Amino acid sequence: MSDAAWAQGDDRPLQRIARNVATRYMLVAAEMLVGLITLPFNLHHLGQEAYGLWMLTAGITVHFSILDLGYGGAMVKFAAQYRAHRDARALNEIASTLFVVFGGLGIATYLAAIALAFNLGHIFAITPEQAETGKWILLIVGAYVASNFAFGVFGGICSGFQRYDINNTVGAVTTITVAVVNIAVLLLGFGVLAVVAATTSVRLIALLVYRRNAYKVFPLLHVRPALFNRARLKEATGFSIYAAVIDWANKLNYEIDEAVIGIFLGAAPVAVWAVADRVISGTQRLTNQANTVLFPFVVDSDATNRGARLQTMLLEGTRLSMAMVAPIAMVLIVLGEPLVRAWVGEKMLGAVPVIQILAVAVVLRVTNATGTTLLKGAGSVRRLAFINIGTGAANLVLSATLIRFYGLTGVAVGTLVPIAFSSMFLIFPYACRRVGLSPARAFRHAVWPASWPALVVGLALAAVYRSTPDAPILLVLAEAAAASLLYFGLFVIAVGRRDRQQYTARIWELAT
């Protein structure tokens, strides 16, 4: 295969973006459906204590991703860069160099997992029996996390070649398979350790599929330790160091809460938090997929000095992102209680105020996702890194302080306040200035058309729900659907005729 053949795209950019975004939504839908089914199923068959222990222990491994050191993002960036330059040798050198790096990081990760596994009883407020079970959970899941480091190079190749659709398809199939195995193991009468071992085995097999796909996308790929290159490592590190800071900050912002709860309150409240976290993280993923595939286009536009394109990307991306998340968040705030009651039962109603508070946080986060991507890809990654690490540190301090007085609600407030401050007063204004827009103009064109319909719908939904507080779940779902339809009707009016015509033209382009 010639350089030109593997370097060129196979369709128009809009179609490629649409394909990648569509499969991202397929993956998210699969994960959300699986979560809706398996969470109450696992709670019923394992009990709150065992399920909470599973979430608490396995949740530790999420934080191991900080050892990525930003090289995962660097792999995607330089795969895309050298593909554009048609430089197969450089691409193989960067892939091989990072494969060696990730191999070492995987070993370090598993050593950390071993150390934590044998000290769980000293870290969390759990019984000796729970500590013994948690030890094996951590050792099993840690093996997958360590392996995933090295195999991440192959996923990065597909992403850098803008073939997110391949990774997304594998992820969706793996998610469904894991769920089937999970349910089957519990129905056969086995416990939490058997479930963890079986589902982890499925995920390990999936890593081999990612590797196969990378060689299919880039037939000239050669990942060899002999191709390790110090210059390539230095090049990748120049980008990854700030990407790592951003990733660490995100862990503090969105994933440290379970550890804080486990330290101060024990395993059982983690299960309550997990219900809220599943809803909020699902909402975030459901509404933020387009921004995932924007990064290469931001880099390209900045490199070619296309300031007008960056302005358009910020305005439209921010507006559409908010339009996606606002109606869902409004439904969660108003109808959170009946939805939780119908999903996981009365015992988990403590998750409702957490969902309501974090729904505001997820609106701010998703609305600013385009600005965040722009800052990261258009030369402001250092500034973004410092903003994120400050936000994460503030989250940790506030959550650890407020949990003593307000429990889970205090943790939620401790998460919301720093996110709100950095979103409104730092990230959004900086992104506007980066593309030559005033924050006031950007708010008027991007935020306001998507926000006022949400306020109207929220007030209407609250009035309807107050008149039918004991409505059956089907009626509640119907109210939520009607609220969403009303929102999008108002949004179409709010954007104005010119933008309506542009959106119609783009939809027609995709259809043809």
Tokens of 312: 């358009």
pLDDT band at 3 (very low <50, low <70, confident <90, very high): very low
pLDDT band at 347 (very low <50, low <70, confident <90, very high): confident
Stretch 233-256: mean pLDDT, rounded?
80
Tokens of 329: 């968040």
Q: What is the pLDDT of residue 333?
A: 95
Tokens of 51: 């399920």
* C-beta separation of 333 from 509 below 8 A: no
Q: What is the pLDDT of residue 2?
A: 46
* C-beta separation of 38 from 181 below 8 A: no
Please say if the pLDDT value at position 401 is more than 60: yes
186-to-181, 270, 281 alpha-carbon distances in Å? 9, 21, 25
Stretch 380-398: mean pLDDT, rounded?
88
Identity of the residue numbered 439: P
Query: Alpha-carbon distance 197 to 183, whole Å?
Result: 13
pLDDT band at 511 (very low <50, low <70, confident <90, very high): low
Whether the predicted model's global pTM rises above the 0.75 cut: no
3-state class percentages of the chain: helix first, strand second, coil last, to nearest 5? 90, 0, 10
Identity of the residue numbered 160: G
Please say if the pLDDT value at position 16 is more than 80: no
* Inter-helix orientation angle 448-467/473-495, to 10°: 150
Q: What is the pLDDT of residue 323?
A: 94
Structure confidence by residue, pLDDT tens digits, 22-32: 888 888 888 88
* Inter-helix orientation angle 369-377/381-422, to 10°: 160
Q: What is the pLDDT of residue 455?
A: 93
Query: Alpha-carbon distance 182 to 40, whole Å?
Result: 13
The mean of the pLDDT values for the chain is 86
* Inter-helix orientation angle 48-62/88-117, to 10°: 140
Tokens of 444: 């008027």
Please say if the pLDDT value at position 268 is more than 50: yes
Tokens of 141: 């899941």
Helix (H, G, I), strand (E, B) or coil at 349: coil
Stretch 481-486: mean pLDDT, rounded?
92
Query: Alpha-carbon distance 132 to 479, whole Å?
Result: 46
Please say if the pLDDT value at position 182 is more than 60: yes
Stretch 157-162: mean pLDDT, rounded?
85
Query: Alpha-carbon distance 422 to 196, whole Å?
Result: 38
pLDDT band at 498 (very low <50, low <70, confident <90, very high): confident
Please say if the pLDDT value at position 169 is more than 80: yes
Please say if the pLDDT value at position 469 is more than 90: no
* C-beta separation of 462 from 334 below 8 A: yes
Q: What is the pLDDT of residue 335?
A: 92
Most distant CA atoms of the chain, gap in Å: 71
| Closest to 311 measured CA to CA, from 423, 425, 434 | 434
| Closest to 116 measured CA to CA, from 107, 127, 124, 104 | 124
Structure confidence by residue, pLDDT tens digits, 192-218: 889 999 999 999 999 999 999 999 999
* C-beta separation of 64 from 144 below 8 A: no
Q: What is the pLDDT of residue 453?
A: 95
349-to-136, 273, 343, 344, 472 alpha-carbon distances in Å? 31, 10, 10, 9, 17
Greater confidence, 461 or 18?
461
Query: Alpha-carbon distance 356 to 25, whole Å?
Result: 24
Query: Alpha-carbon distance 103 to 352, whole Å?
Result: 42
Helix (H, G, I), strand (E, B) or coil at 125: coil
Sign of the alpha-carbon torsion through 409, 414, 416, 421: positive
Find the Cα–Cα–Cα–Cα dihedral 137, 138, 142, 144, rounded to 10°.
10
Task: Give the CB-side neighbour count of residue 320, counting CA atoms within 13 A.
Answer: 15
Structure confidence by residue, pLDDT tens digits, 115-152: 988 888 888 877 888 888 888 998 999 899 999 988 98
Q: What is the DSSP string of 224-262?
A: -GGG--HHHHHHHHHHHHHHHHHHHHHHHHHTSHHHHHH
Most confident of 68-77, 278-287, 438-447, 475-484: 438-447
Task: Give the CB-side neighbour count of residue 501, counting CA atoms within 13 A.
Answer: 3
Q: What is the pLDDT of residue 12?
A: 65
Structure confidence by residue, pLDDT tens digits, 297-330: 776 677 667 788 889 889 989 999 999 999 999 9
Neighbours of 400 (CB within 10 A): 17
pLDDT band at 1 (very low <50, low <70, confident <90, very high): very low
Least confident residue range of 51-55, 149-153, 457-461: 51-55
* C-beta separation of 43 from 272 below 8 A: no
| Closest to 444 measured CA to CA, from 326, 290, 319 | 319
